[in-house]
Amino acid sequence: MANKLATVRTVADLRRAIATWREEGLSVGLVPTMGALHDGHFSLVEKSTATTDRTITTLFVNPKQFGPTEDLDVYPRNEDADAAALAERGVDLLFAPALDEMYPEGSVTAVAVPGIGDVLEGAHRPGFFTGVATVVTKLLIQSLPDKAFFGEKDFQQLAVIKRMVLDLDIPVEIIGCPIVRESDGLAMSSRNAYLNAEERASATGLHAALADIAAQIIEGGPVTDAIRAAKNQLLNRGFTKVDYLAVCDPESLEALNSVSGGARILGAAWLGKTRLIDNLAVEK
């Protein structure tokens, strides 16, 4: 059985632990999470443990990235199970700060990433990327890792973080890791736990819709027609609302009306009270 994972809750303790590794000349990888860990998170951990000497996972459910009507209060939390799973996978340290450690009394500073952070998710979840950028900036400055690992499942989040790190000269390499999917294609997400059996059966439709858009683009069909058909397909398969389906430039995330070369297809849609996002690369 793996040992209990060393856990620190203050920035001072985190920095003390990292300082001892740095004195030994060791490299450090950071895997930021909000907990409720699944194989998607574990793939980031695996990449970090394979490419750096020490891996830190952070666990902090960041209230600044939840809107007033979103699921902050019910977001799944199970630190003990997460810590045990991380220990088994060779993580060296868990940083699990309390709210007032991360945002001390009077804290007002925020990091905004306009443009790339205003479209798609940003348009439907106002304030979301400012919340993400603020907490990720803090985590990176608190730990100053060599590499930090994020999933492509949150493709726009990854693009926003890359932009932010470049703009703020934060000395870290941001590594994007491929989406991990269930056997039927559903992208792994902590929020999949909200789905009832009927919704779970329909949920794979989002990936299927993105794959259909990709197939039509490759065949040379118009992007707008492909998107319209995929939206109808989602609504016919039990999705209750489609926030967006878009074909975008993979770096700027600007919407494309035609594709020549690489593009990313991104989508967000609701099954009852659960909002799912997914994305797919397409190459023409």
Residues carrying an active site annotation:
41
The values of phi and psi at residue 267, to 5°, are: -145, 150
3-state secondary structure 194-208: HCCHHHHHHHCHHHH
* CB 59 within 8 Å of CB 96: yes
* CB 72 within 8 Å of CB 66: yes
* Residue 156 binds to ligand PAF (criterion: CB under 6 A): no
- Smallest distance from the beta carbon of 136 to ligand PAF, in angstroms? 6
Reading the block at residue 252, the tokens are 């700027």
Amino acid found at 12: A
* Residue 132 binds to ligand PAF (criterion: CB under 6 A): yes
Amino acid found at 272: G
- Smallest distance from the beta carbon of 124 to ligand PAF, in angstroms? 15
The binder of ligand PAF chosen from 92, 121, 152, 154 (CB under 6 A): 154
Q: Quote the CA–CA distance of 162 and 259 in Å, as a whole number.
A: 23
The binder of ligand PAF chosen from 28, 44, 136, 174 (CB under 6 A): 136
Helix (H, G, I), strand (E, B) or coil at 246: strand
- Smallest distance from the beta carbon of 219 to ligand PAF, in angstroms? 34
Taking residues 51 to 80 in sequence order and writing x for each that binds ligand PAF by CB under 6 A, - otherwise, the string is -----------x--x---------------
Closest CA to 200 of 179, 180, 184: 184
User: Which listed range, 44-52, 132-140, 178-186, 267-275, lies at the site for ligand PAF (CB under 6 A)?
Assistant: 132-140
User: Which listed range, 93-101, 106-114, 128-136, 211-219, lies at the site for ligand PAF (CB under 6 A)?
Assistant: 128-136
Cβ distance to ligand PAF smaller for residue 161 or 226: 161
User: Which listed range, 11-19, 109-117, 129-137, 226-234, lies at the site for ligand PAF (CB under 6 A)?
Assistant: 129-137
- Smallest distance from the beta carbon of 139 to ligand PAF, in angstroms? 8
Q: Quote the CA–CA distance of 242 and 78 in Å, as a whole number.
A: 30
Question: 14 to 53, contacts with ligand PAF by CB under 6 A?
Answer: 32-34
Q: Quote the CA–CA distance of 228 and 146 in Å, as a whole number.
A: 43
Q: How many CA within 13 A on the CB side of residue 159?
A: 23
* Residue 137 binds to ligand PAF (criterion: CB under 6 A): no
Q: How many other CB atoms sit within 10 Å of the CB of residue 282?
A: 20
- Smallest distance from the beta carbon of 237 to ligand PAF, in angstroms? 26
The values of phi and psi at residue 192, to 5°, are: -60, -25
* Residue 97 binds to ligand PAF (criterion: CB under 6 A): no
- Smallest distance from the beta carbon of 135 to ligand PAF, in angstroms? 5
* Residue 135 binds to ligand PAF (criterion: CB under 6 A): yes
Cβ distance to ligand PAF smaller for residue 72 or 208: 72
Closest CA to 14 of 60, 78, 67: 60
* CB 148 within 8 Å of CB 125: no
Which residues are at the interface with ligand PAF (CB under 6 A)? 32-34, 62, 65, 132, 135-136, 154, 157
